[in-house]
Amino acid sequence: MSDFVVLPRWDARLKYNVRMKVQNDVFQSQLCLSHAGILTIVLCALAATPFKEAHAAQSAPHKRSSLVQARAGFVTHLTTNKKTTDPVPTPPAGVLSLVNYPAPLGNFPAYISAPPTTDKRYPAIVWIAGGFDNGIGDTPWTPQEADNDQSASAFREAGIVTMYPSLRGGNNNPGYIESFYGEVEDVLAAAKYLAQQPFVDPKRIYLGGHSTGGTLVLLADESTDLFRAVFSFGPVARASEYDDASLTFDSSNEMENRLRSPISFLDAITSPTYVIEGTADPSNIAAVNELEAANSNPRIHFIPIDDQTHFSELAISTPMVAKWITGDSGPYFRIGAADNTPAQTTAKKVIKKKAKRH
């Protein structure tokens, strides 16, 4: 094994090849309306569960097969020691601050957005970007095009404190890139650090991520009950679905792959969770469909966005999720309670029908 291999910093502007699988016939229904003008209404509806059925689903006991328990005593074997050495760019003053959070392997850099004011506590989200380099760059503040906006700027623009953490092996951090293994611990450490900030409401910590970040988000979700709600954009069901050249473990090893596969531990999720993906090529919608077909956990919702790709759906979904978060103030996560428009009323029927299936 070599000392380490230096990877180029992930460029969020690059539309890398999203691995596609042949869709099977288990996904029979599309809950998303095809008319572009009401996509966001459907998004809101599929997550809006301020009903007795939804509350029962959240509070009902659910069988757990903990990812943490499954990983206990297991030591991952990396096939190569990869890391990135790119320095962390200085963010623009007043927009983001560069901080260091205590991760298991050391203090890792992260960006945190400025709160709207300092006289109250705000909801906050940990955002995990796509790519395989575990680093952070200038994407959060660089202007993005609507068809590929991976900045997650919609959250901080809505007044949500947003944290972008680097992970092990990224930005010359200690350790090596473990491809969805030890990074789970880094994500949880970042969330705990965020919850300790004086301008953050520790009871309203959310988690979100796109693409590989969406996959990592689900694995973190399967390892904790820390988050108020979790949003996974365009994940895969198993880490082995990514190209082997991008991974640092033997994807043919059954245990190595299982412990990196969200599909294996869906029943461990206790936070309200929303898996979102565009249906147009390129897309991971086949993987999302497989996750939905395997799921029996009423806390997990799957939201396909018609006529949008793996990248373009972010311009629709992140502002809507930001609206969900800013409107979330009850004892447990819920969306759309005050929206009684005809379209929302119709969409509520979809949610009730879904809740009855559980």
The three state secondary structure string of the chain is CCCCEECCCCCCCCCCCCCCCCCCCCCCCCCCCCCHHHHHHHHHHHHCCCCHHHHHHHHCCCCCCCHHHHHCCCCCCECCCEECCCCCCCCCCCCEEEEEEEECCEEEEEEEECCCCCCCCEEEEEEECCCCCCCCCCCCCCCCCHHHCCCCHHHHHCCCEEEEECCCCCCCCCCCCCCCCCHHHHHHHHHHHHHCCCCEEEEEEEEEEECHHHHHHHHHHCCCCCCCEEEEECCCCCHHHCCHHHCCECCCCHHHHHCCCHHHHHHHCCCCEEEEEECCCCCCHHHHHHHHHHCCCCCEEEEEECCCCCCCCHHHHHHHHHHHHHCCCCCCCCCCCCCCCHHHHHHHHHHHHHHHHC
List CB contacts of 326: < 8 A, sequence separation 6 or more: 123, 158, 159, 160
- Tokens 């699988």 belong to 21
Q: What is the CA radius of gyration of the chain?
A: 19
User: What's the pLDDT at 35?
Assistant: 35
Distance CA 36, CA 66 (A): 39
Q: 271 and 221 in contact (C-beta within 8 Å)? A: yes
Residue 180 predicted with pLDDT over 60: yes
Residue 228 predicted with pLDDT over 90: yes
Sequence spans of domains, the chain: 63-338
Nearest by Cα to 267 from 62, 16, 20? 62
Weakest mean pLDDT among 60-69, 115-124, 194-203, 324-333: 60-69
Pairing state between β 229-233 and 273-278: parallel
User: What's the pLDDT at 335?
Assistant: 78
Q: Which of the four pLDDT bands, split at 50, 70 and 90, describes residue 25? A: very low
Summarize the confidence of residues 352-356 as an average pLDDT.
48
Residue 276 predicted with pLDDT over 60: yes
CA atoms within 13 A on the CB side of 153: 16
Q: 120 and 161 in contact (C-beta within 8 Å)? A: no
Q: What number of residues does the chain have?
A: 358
Summarize the confidence of residues 278-289 as an average pLDDT.
98
Q: 218 and 263 in contact (C-beta within 8 Å)? A: no
Tokens at 112, concatenated: 């945190």
Residue 295 has phi, psi (to 5 degrees) of -85, 140
Beta bridge partners of 302: 275
Distance CA 191, CA 193 (A): 5
Tokens at 303, concatenated: 């939201």
User: What's the pLDDT at 64?
Assistant: 57
Distance CA 69, CA 255 (A): 13
Summarize the confidence of residues 241-248 as an average pLDDT.
98
Residue 14 or residue 170, greater confidence: 170
Summarize the confidence of residues 167-185 as an average pLDDT.
99
- Tokens 């404190």 belong to 161
User: What's the pLDDT at 336?
Assistant: 59
The overall average pLDDT reported for the chain is: 83
Summarize the confidence of residues 48-72 as an average pLDDT.
57
Percent of the chain at pLDDT exceeding 70: 75
Summarize the confidence of residues 130-154 as an average pLDDT.
97
User: What's the pLDDT at 6?
Assistant: 42
Residue 181 predicted with pLDDT over 80: yes
Count of other CB atoms within 10 angstroms of residue 72: 8
Indicate the CATH number for domain 63-338: 3.40.50.1820
